[in-house]
Structure 1
């Protein structure tokens, strides 16, 4: 039985006086892909920002058995928790290769991923290795952001809306990349709006509504639960 890598219990978060997360609890196990679904504005992005320390969390967040509430984002990252934000936070003036090197946790030693691994997984990055990050397409920038996060050798990566605004072909690429990441033993917490990709690649799914978890189960269980899909997911 695989162990829980991330354990979130009774997580609350606020923006000013607005209470956004109301007692959120969930787990991510070693090496699994877990998707966090829900409509815009229900608190999915706030959940991963609170885990990362970008939004002050209240409650308990344990990563690899350690309580991380109160730690700074860079300290959390150094424990092995990677975060791929929705805004594709690359350095536009630096080349693709330089962006990837910046992701390395330790410049002197390689983790489980090398720059060559990144090029093998997504050959387009190899073709654009010396191009500035700012000239890449949205899909290429998304791949670069994810690959740069992997260069920090995380045990778990949280990926916020990676397919937003991408062409169907790039969505397919992102899905395949996520599966390959998980095959290397890296757990993934995926915040996603596209039900199809989440159902296809996840082992388990959670659905959020109004800052709370309203469903937990397998892709098959969610597909069988028309009432949950209609109330919390369908537009």
Structure 2
């Protein structure tokens, strides 16, 4: 993979007096798909919120060599980081087309993605382009959220639990979209519960436990590490 695009070192974070992250350290290379795995409650979502600026971080977060720890979310986004939260924060009263337009960065031209790309990848969104986003199914809302983030042309997109609650067919769709994103040179930090998806599409995987990284390896290495899966991933 390419040079490190995102480098996180010694990341700590708190919710009130609760100490959530304990020295999290990892990196994501240019155009790389990196999975961040772990059971619920181990700090995966807090990690991406701290990177984005939704949670106050302590430690170092470098993007393209520049320290970004402590920036506000909109400042982080302008640096080239995209974030797709697991809450699928669409604007239900606006149309699908308007939601996508909101993702565009003012004054930015010549990006990797246009609305036509979104509609080609997801014909369902084109069919519903002028419908209010609130009437879409959960899977369609998830696709819309990812596509809206891509409209801002990020260099790295952090996606939190994109397949949660989706039908098997929709899960396949999302998997193909993630591979297409990576093919266009966009790096992905993927938080995912479903090990099969992460093993299939991620180049490297980190496993979190108790607020820190407990394992790093390739998909093949984690697939062979039954002890790690049993201790840190299986319910």
TM-score category (smaller protein): over 0.9
- Per the TM alignment, residue 112 of structure 1 is displaced from its structure 2 partner at its CA by 1.1
Report the Cα distance in structure 1 between the residues aligned to 2:6 and 2:107, rounded to whole angstroms: 27
**Number of the residue aligned with 2:175:** 175
- Per the TM alignment, residue 2 of structure 1 is displaced from its structure 2 partner at its CA by 1.1
SS of 1:158's partner is strand
**Number of the residue aligned with 2:161:** 161
Report the Cα distance in structure 2 between the residues aligned to 1:47 and 1:137, rounded to whole angstroms: 28
Structure 1 stretches of 4+ with a deviation exceeding 4 A read none
- With over 3 angstroms needed to count, the CA separation of the structure-2 counterparts of 1:182 and 1:138, relative to structure 1, is same
**Number of the residue aligned with 1:223:** 223
Report the Cα distance in structure 1 between the residues aligned to 2:206 and 2:69, rounded to whole angstroms: 22
SS of 2:229's partner is helix
- What is the TM-score when the length of structure 2 is the normalising length? 0.99
Deviations 1:155-190 (A, max 9, x none): 000000000000011001000000000000000000
**Number of the residue aligned with 1:58:** 58
Report the Cα distance in structure 2 between the residues aligned to 1:111 and 1:94, rounded to whole angstroms: 24
Deviations 1:12-46 (A, max 9, x none): 00000000000000000000100000000000000
Report the Cα distance in structure 2 between the residues aligned to 1:108 and 1:19, rounded to whole angstroms: 39
Report the Cα distance in structure 1 between the residues aligned to 2:69 and 2:218, rounded to whole angstroms: 28
SS of 1:89's partner is coil
1:195 aligns with 2:195: yes
**Which has the higher mean CA deviation after the structures are superposed, 11-20 or 103-112?**
103-112
Deviations 1:79-104 (A, max 9, x none): 00000000000000000000000000
- What is the TM-score when the length of structure 1 is the normalising length? 0.99
**Number of the residue aligned with 1:33:** 33
- Unpaired runs of 5+ in structure 2? none
Report 1:209-220 matches (<5 A): 209-220=209-220
1:185 aligns with 2:185: yes
- Unpaired runs of 5+ in structure 1? none
Deviations 1:46-100 (A, max 9, x none): 0000000100000000001110012111000000000000000000000000000
Q: CA RMSD in A?
A: 0.9
- Per the TM alignment, residue 106 of structure 1 is displaced from its structure 2 partner at its CA by 2.2
- With over 3 angstroms needed to count, the CA separation of the structure-2 counterparts of 1:227 and 1:117, relative to structure 1, is same
Report the Cα distance in structure 2 between the residues aligned to 1:104 and 1:25, rounded to whole angstroms: 31
- Per the TM alignment, residue 109 of structure 1 is displaced from its structure 2 partner at its CA by 2.8
Matched pairs, number: 235
**Which has the higher mean CA deviation after the structures are superposed, 194-203 or 104-113?**
104-113
Report the Cα distance in structure 2 between the residues aligned to 1:226 and 1:183, rounded to whole angstroms: 30
**Number of the residue aligned with 1:46:** 46
- With over 3 angstroms needed to count, the CA separation of the structure-2 counterparts of 1:125 and 1:8, relative to structure 1, is same
Report the Cα distance in structure 1 between the residues aligned to 2:109 and 2:39, rounded to whole angstroms: 41
Report 1:54-203 matches (<5 A): 54-106=54-106, 109-203=109-203
